[in-house]
């Protein structure tokens, strides 16, 4: 039963992190169309799409890692609420 809950927490953490990543790609596409919003980055030669997609890829990756680490801590400590809280703090904080 503990293993089933742990697997469920891992799947929930990864799916929520992938949702953040997907929304990041949508947001990056919207910002790419709005040239006035990030004209400063364009003036200094930095690609807006690269900046935002990189930021959201890193956030999504850190959220996935945080979710897996939080669940691993929970399996060791046998406290599933600790895993959920740790995964959420890690994904939001990072």
Q: Do 65 and 75 touch, CB atoms closer than 8 A?
A: no
Q: For the chain, list residues with pLDDT below 50.
A: 93-94
Are the CB atoms for 16 and 63 separated by under 8 Å? yes
Sequence length of the chain is 94
pLDDT for res 8: 72
The pTM of the full predicted model, rounded to 2 decimals, is: 0.37
């Amino acid at each position: 039963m503990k293993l089933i809950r742990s697997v469920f927490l891992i799947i929930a953490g990864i799916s929520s992190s992938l949702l953040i990543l997907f929304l990041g790609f949508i947001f990056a596409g919207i910002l790419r169309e709005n040239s006035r919003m990030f004209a400063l980055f364009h003036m200094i030669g930095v690609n807006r799409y690269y900046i935002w997609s990189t930021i959201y890829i890193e956030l999504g990756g850190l959220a996935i890692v945080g979710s897996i680490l939080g669940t691993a801590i929970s399996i060791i400590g046998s406290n599933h609420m600790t895993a959920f809280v740790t995964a959420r703090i890690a994904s939001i904080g990072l």
